[in-house]
Structure 1
């Protein structure tokens, strides 16, 4: 049986006193098994660990960091391994779910804490859910944004992906072969990101009767079905430049390697087949996010899979980028849940 990782705690990294007093964000690198994780910290109080998704970085939480800090929390947003200034191992298997869980545990320990609430978006939601599932001793509550919890189960994931989409290729299958998606994305990182963000945004996204970018015709590229000539309100030139510059420096392989571990995760997590997450939990979804449509059955199963669920919200007209599209609303929901939803402080 594969056991959840229990890394040795690294030396705690405590914020300088002046930053604790002023509440300014602090950047640092902390040790994790086999590498380092870059994080941005703001505020003091109970620890809230924020985990981004694809293709993002700690910056996706930039609006929530000061809001959580002002509400009396120690908010910490990480660059997931493979992103930003965090370590980028070469081997595909170094991006398995067990490695991400170990990273999260090590970050909590490096910050001198014993427990934390973990909140994730997109892939970060799945990482947060598995962190809570495998290490309930560390992660005492879990918030899931965009992607609902689905317990491990069913057939091998790549077999499922190969059957989705009919004559078109499902995007997760498209991402499987190393170098293939990189060749498309890295030819124009800034342009690809702009198109991807716009295509999944609640206001600028692909119309319901449009061709989905998640299904790629034979011989085509994913970006062939992106929205053209539109930009989400939140995606300013400066913000797009900041995101693109990080990926232009790091490339996309680390980010894409998360998708390339779907079968490995299915094998690693066999002992937790169908397992519920019992800690206090929160779900926030976007009404215009494909995840809430594809995974409607997972949301309907929450009474069984998330018996500790204390709040669930579907934001009308919102797309995939919840904390970018509706930062104030997401902050209000999250802070209310942290303060009154059964989450221990």
Structure 2
């Protein structure tokens, strides 16, 4: 008879943030799953049972600022060093010494930084949607301010505290639905349409979101879950991640140009701006990710890869995880 993985378990563990909420499923080597913006542990709902069935202990966290995890009040409590410290604390709290870390969107950046700064803990790294770019280069705020001409890149739009919150929080559910649709392979605007990553002078992000249609991967119940979380917590904790990019640039200056040497995997959507804008980063993988197993671009897929293409993502992850060296037996 086939073995079914045990049910998913919610728990909170101590971390430098205060507490991190996570959902875990399965037994075996630990795989830490880190979501992006504006998401939740729930973004990994399709991966938790698949990884458990493949013989792994999967743990999907709510990143600090989200869900049931702590939401520090200080904007600078969301710098990359803090997220790395949270991830390492979760591994320790779960009674493990090492983990594979897999991240999507901002979670991919957090996963990469965790592998870079704590290689003794994070023995392999999987990156979804956002390619690895080593620390260094020009100051981020200057780069983003120079993009878009008279229009404003969303990252710059998010910088001033309260500004994006004033757009989003009066109608969280509608705003989330629009953003998810704008970046999904089956509902995004046709090429040549106004880019939803930019804000026109005097406008808002939602001005360019598609209306009236949810992407195929997003059911009404799924949208209700995401909206309910952000209606309860607000968006400030999530947006504060964007407000620390210059601090990260300073904090990680000593690692400029550093490759990730652990075994690694990348998968992204061929229709995702993250993979098209950062195509040069993918081409640089032989240098920046010398332990890369493969880089996969899924045709027709947008930004929300593990939700848009759950079966394919699960296969890519479980096949890759099966190639990793076995952990030594505990003493």
CA RMSD of aligned residues (A): 0.9
- 2:293 is matched with 310
Matched residues, number: 324
Counterpart selection for 1:214 from 161, 186, 197: 197
- Is 2:261 aligned against 1:272? no
Q: Is the 8 A contact 1:146 1:284 kept in 2?
A: yes
Counterpart selection for 2:231 from 248, 271, 275: 248
Counterpart selection for 1:30 from 13, 19, 23: 13
Counterpart selection for 2:23 from 24, 40, 61: 40
SS at match of 1:260: helix
- 2:51 is matched with 68
- 2:36 is matched with 53
- 1:78 and 1:34, CA in 2 relative to 1: closer, same or farther beyond 3 A? closer
Q: Is the 8 A contact 2:129 2:274 kept in 1?
A: yes
SS at match of 2:131: coil
TM-score, length of structure 2 as denominator length? 0.97
TM-score, length of structure 1 as denominator length? 0.93
- 2:316 is matched with 333
- 1:3 is matched with none
Counterpart selection for 2:131 from 119, 136, 148: 148
Counterpart selection for 1:281 from 237, 240, 264: 264
User: Which 5+ residue runs of structure 1 have no aligned equivalent?
Assistant: 1-20
- 1:282 and 1:217, CA in 2 relative to 1: closer, same or farther beyond 3 A? same
- Is 2:285 aligned against 1:294? no
**By how many angstroms is 1:229 displaced?**
2.1
User: Which 5+ residue runs of structure 2 have no aligned equivalent?
Assistant: none
Q: In structure 1, how many angstroms separate the alpha carbons of the residues matched to 2:97 and 2:5?
A: 24
Q: In structure 2, how many angstroms separate the alpha carbons of the residues matched to 1:131 and 1:24?
A: 28
Query: Which is further off, 138-147 or 222-231?
Result: 222-231
Q: Is the 8 A contact 2:5 2:49 kept in 1?
A: no
**By how many angstroms is 1:155 displaced?**
1.1
Counterpart selection for 1:134 from 103, 112, 117: 117
Q: In structure 2, how many angstroms separate the alpha carbons of the residues matched to 1:83 and 1:250?
A: 7
- 1:253 and 1:310, CA in 2 relative to 1: closer, same or farther beyond 3 A? same
**By how many angstroms is 1:343 displaced?**
4.6
Q: In structure 2, how many angstroms separate the alpha carbons of the residues matched to 1:295 and 1:224?
A: 25
SS at match of 1:277: coil
- 2:84 is matched with 101
- 1:212 and 1:284, CA in 2 relative to 1: closer, same or farther beyond 3 A? same
Q: Is the 8 A contact 1:337 1:343 kept in 2?
A: no
